[in-house]
């Protein structure tokens, strides 16, 4: 992963990220639902950005649970920290860290969310870090954009590729962004969203 390139992109994106995210709300809600969080659970938001998933995650785990948000972009995290302060959440902790750094406690969370974090999903090291933090039997859910096929692809892929380039450093694996994760977990499922231009993948750590 080119961390400096990612930081440069998100220094700019932090300004308008929350606005352009609005069409993805249904995908985000579905992704969080597939984590099957319960009150008291601990969850890792890996690549948490400006914190748009934090409301859903904190609501799901409750005051007895714990939410850990990790992101490499200080600009995105600054907005997430303002959100945490605004809500007065005491069970949400945000950490600025490279997704490939070995800085997460082993077997420390019940679930991991990777929402529109294509660069993380194309990094073997980052995936290993996420899975190391996940307890056996824990759920990991990844969601993001993808290149679709057929007639829909001819019409929609140019748009998908255009907006995706503003947020990721390369388009490797864009046909099946979940492939590296799929090889590392047990039961695995993928569902299409937004006419096939988005996906939600779910796996269990065995």
C-alpha triplet 80, 126, 192: angle, nearest 5°: 75
pTM: 0.89
User: What distance in Å separates the CA atoms of residue 62 and residue 49, rounded to the nearest whole number?
Assistant: 21
Q: What is residue 50's DSSP assignment? A: T
User: What distance in Å separates the CA atoms of residue 100 and residue 1, rounded to the nearest whole number?
Assistant: 8
DSSP string, 74-94: HHHHHHHHHHHHHHT-SSEEE
For 17-170, where are the E strands, in sequence order?
Answer: 42-46, 66-71, 92-96, 109-115, 134-145
pLDDT at 179: 98
Q: Hey, CA dihedral for 204, 181, 78, 194, is it positive or negative?
A: negative
Residue 53 is encoded by which pair of tokens? 């998933």
Contact, 44 vs 114, CB < 8 A?
A: no
Q: Strand, helix or coil at 1?
A: coil
- Taking only the tens place, the pLDDT of each residue in 49-86 is 999 999 999 999 999 999 999 999 898 899 999 999 99
Contact, 110 vs 133, CB < 8 A?
A: no
User: What distance in Å separates the CA atoms of residue 45 and residue 43, rounded to the nearest whole number?
Assistant: 7
Q: Would you call 173 exposed, middle or buried from its count of C-beta atoms within 10 A (0-12, 13-18, 19+)? A: middle
User: What distance in Å separates the CA atoms of residue 139 and residue 203, rounded to the nearest whole number?
Assistant: 6
pLDDT at 177: 97
How many Cα atoms occupy the beta-carbon half-sphere of 148 within 13 Å? 22
Domain annotation for the chain: domains and CATH numbers? 3-98+105-204 (3.40.50.150)
Which comes out higher in pLDDT, residue 185 or 151?
185
Helix-then-strand count for the chain, H and E: 9, 7
Q: Would you call 187 exposed, middle or buried from its count of C-beta atoms within 10 A (0-12, 13-18, 19+)? A: exposed
Kindly report the average pLDDT of the chain as a whole number. 89
Phi, psi values for residue 137, rounded to 5°: 90, -5
- Taking only the tens place, the pLDDT of each residue in 2-50 is 555 555 555 555 445 555 566 789 999 999 999 999 999 999 999 999 9
């Amino acid at each position: 992963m080119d961390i400096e390139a990612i930081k440069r992109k998100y220094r700019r994106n932090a300004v308008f990220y929350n606005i352009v995210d609005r069409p993805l709300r249904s995908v985000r809600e579905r992704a969080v639902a597939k984590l099957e969080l319960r009150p008291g659970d601990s969850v890792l938001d890996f690549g948490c950005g400006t914190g748009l998933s934090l409301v859903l995650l904190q609501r799901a785990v409750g005051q007895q649970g714990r939410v850990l948000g990790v992101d490499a972009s200080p600009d995105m995290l600054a907005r997430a920290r303002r959100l945490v302060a605004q809500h007065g959440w005491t069970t949400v902790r945000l950490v600025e860290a490279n997704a490939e750094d070995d800085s997460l406690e082993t077997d420390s969370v019940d679930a991991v969310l990777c929402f529109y974090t294509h660069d993380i999903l194309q990094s073997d090291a980052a995936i290993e870090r996420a899975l190391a933090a996940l307890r056996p039997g824990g759920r990991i859910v990844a969601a993001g954009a993808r290149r679709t096929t057929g007639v829909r692809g001819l019409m929609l892929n140019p748009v998908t590729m255009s907006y995706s380039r503003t947020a990721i450093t390369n388009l490797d694996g864009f046909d099946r962004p979940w492939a590296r994760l799929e090889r590392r977990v047990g039961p695995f499922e993928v569902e299409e969203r937004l006419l096939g231009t988005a996906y939600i993948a779910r796996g269990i750590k065995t």
